[in-house]
Amino acid sequence: MNIEEQVATLMQGTDYGDEELKKAMGDELRERLIEAQSEDRPLRVYCGYDPRTADLHIGHTITMRKLRQFQDLGHQVIFLVGTYTSLIGDPSDKDKLRKTLTLDEVEKNAETYAHQAFRVLERTKTLVEYNDKWLAELTLKDLIEFASNFTIQQFLTRENFKLRFNKKEAIYLHETFYSIMQAYDAYKLKADVQVGGTDQLFNIITAARKLMTALGEKPNIGIIMGILPGTDGEVRMSKSLGNHIPLNTDAEDMYGKVMSVPDKAMPLFMRLVTRWTASEVEQIEITLGDGSLHPRDAKMNVAREITAIFYGEEASEKAEGEFVAVFQKGELPDDIADFKLQAGQTILDVLVAGNLVTSKSEGRRLIKQNGIRLDGETLTDANQIFPHNGVLQAGKRRFLRVVE
C-alpha cells in the first residue's frame, strides 16, 4: 500500500464524534507514517487491555483487529495488559463505580486475554507488556506532578461523570487517577499511536496527549474505534444483554450468530471485525448498492470471514455448509449429540441437562417465545414431562437427539 491507502485502511471504522478531530488525527497519522518511512523505522502502536473478565466476545477484538492492520504493515505492536489500571477499573463507559479487583483476579484473567488475543495478532511479532512494571513505582510526588496538568472541570465534562454528578451520585477521587495512569502508559511506551474505543476518547486524545507533551514526548495519535452493535443490530454488544458473539464458542455457533445480525449492521461488522481493507469494503458496498450483490450473500461473506479469523478457513467453510443445510434447505446437522432421557424429567430439565440453555430462566424464556421444538412441533409447557424420543431444537442453531 502507498501512504494514502495505508491511512484509509488504518482510519477505517474510526469514530471521533467530530469530523474535524477525525481529519486532524488522519493528517497526523499521515505525517507520522511519512516520517517513520524516511527514518526507516516502524511506528510503535499499542492498545491497553484491562483483564477485568475472562469472557471475551468479538466486540472486544475490534482494537486487536486494528493492531493487526498496523502489524501487517510492518509496525511494532504492543499488547499492554493493564495489571495495575485494572485494580481501579476504567470508569469511561460506566455510569457507576466499578468493582475493585485483586491482583490475583487480574493476573488470572490476563492469561485468558493473551490466549484469545493471539487468535488475531501474530504472536511472534507482538510485544506484551504489563503496566504494573512502571505504575507500581510511581511516587506521590510523581502523581502530584502529573495531576497538575489537569483540572477537575475537565473530568466533570465527561458524560459518565456528568451524569453521576447531576444525579448526586458519588464520584470517587481514585476514579480520576485512571486517565492519568493510562496517559503515563503511553509516555512510558513512547507510543506513536494508541488504539481504543470511543469510550477512550478522553483518556487518549486529552489525557495521554497532554501528559506526553508535558513530559517532553511527542504526543501519540489516537485511533478511536467505533462500537460494535450486538446481534440485535441496535445496542452495544454485551454479554449482560445476551446480544454478544463469544470467542469461546465453536465455528458453527459463531457463523450462525453473525448471520442473525440485521442487514443494517453489516457495514459496521465489515469495517470493525473483518480483515478487509477500506477499498475492499467500498467495493462490496458498491455492489450492494447497484444490486449485483444480494444482501444475504454479502452477510454470508462477512460470517465466513469472521469465523475464519477465529477458527480457520476449513472450519468456517464447514460452518457455512451446515448453516445452508439446516436453515436454507431444512436439513438437520450431522453431528447432533445424543441425550439419555431419565424417568420423570420435564422439558425444562432436558433443556438444562442437555446444555441447550444455560439456565432455567433462559429455557422458560425460549419456551414462552415458542423457540423450543421437538421433531418440529412447538413445546409450550416447561413443566410438562418430556413427551417422547426425538430431535429437540432450542432457538435456531441448537439441537439434541433425545433417546430413552
Q: Of 391, 381, 385, whose CA–CA distance to 356 is shortest?
A: 391
Show me where the domains of the chain are located. Answer: 3-225, 251-328, 338-403
Whole-angstrom distance, CA of residue 361 vs CA of residue 378: 18
Q: Are strands 76-81 and 44-49 parallel, antiparallel or unpaired?
A: parallel
CATH homologous superfamily of 3-225: HUPs (3.40.50.620)
Instruction: Count the alpha carbons within 13 Å of 149 in the hemisphere toward its beta carbon.
Output: 20
Cell 504493515 found at: 73
Q: Of 153, 233, 220, whose CA–CA distance to 182 is shortest?
A: 220
Q: Cβ(114)–Cβ(128) under 8 Å?
A: yes
pTM to 2 decimal places: 0.74
Q: Cβ(43)–Cβ(75) under 8 Å?
A: yes
- Average pLDDT of each block of 10 consecutive residues along the chain (404 residues)? 93 94 97 96 93 76 93 95 74 48 73 79 92 93 93 81 83 84 96 94 93 96 93 84 85 90 90 90 92 89 94 93 76 80 92 90 88 84 89 85 86
The pLDDT, as a whole number, for residue 93 is 44
Rg (C-alpha) for the chain, rounded Å, is 24
Q: Cβ(88)–Cβ(76) under 8 Å?
A: no
Q: Cα dihedral sign for 389, 391, 394, 398? A: positive
Measured in residues, the chain has a length of 404
What CATH number does the domain located at 251-328 have?
1.10.240.10
Architecture of the structural domain at 338-403: Roll (3.10)
The amino acid sitting at 177 is: F
168-171, Cβ contacts within 8 angstroms, sequence gap of 24 or more: 169/96, 170/97
Cell 409447557 found at: 381
Whole-angstrom distance, CA of residue 138 vs CA of residue 181: 10
**CA–CA–CA angle 255, 261, 265 (5° rounding):** 125
User: Rounded to 5 degrees, what are φ and ψ at 402?
Assistant: -90, 125
Helix (H) or strand (E) holding 117: helix 103-117
The pLDDT, as a whole number, for residue 96 is 45
Beta-strand runs (E) in 97-211: 126-130, 193-197
Whole-angstrom distance, CA of residue 266 vs CA of residue 24: 27
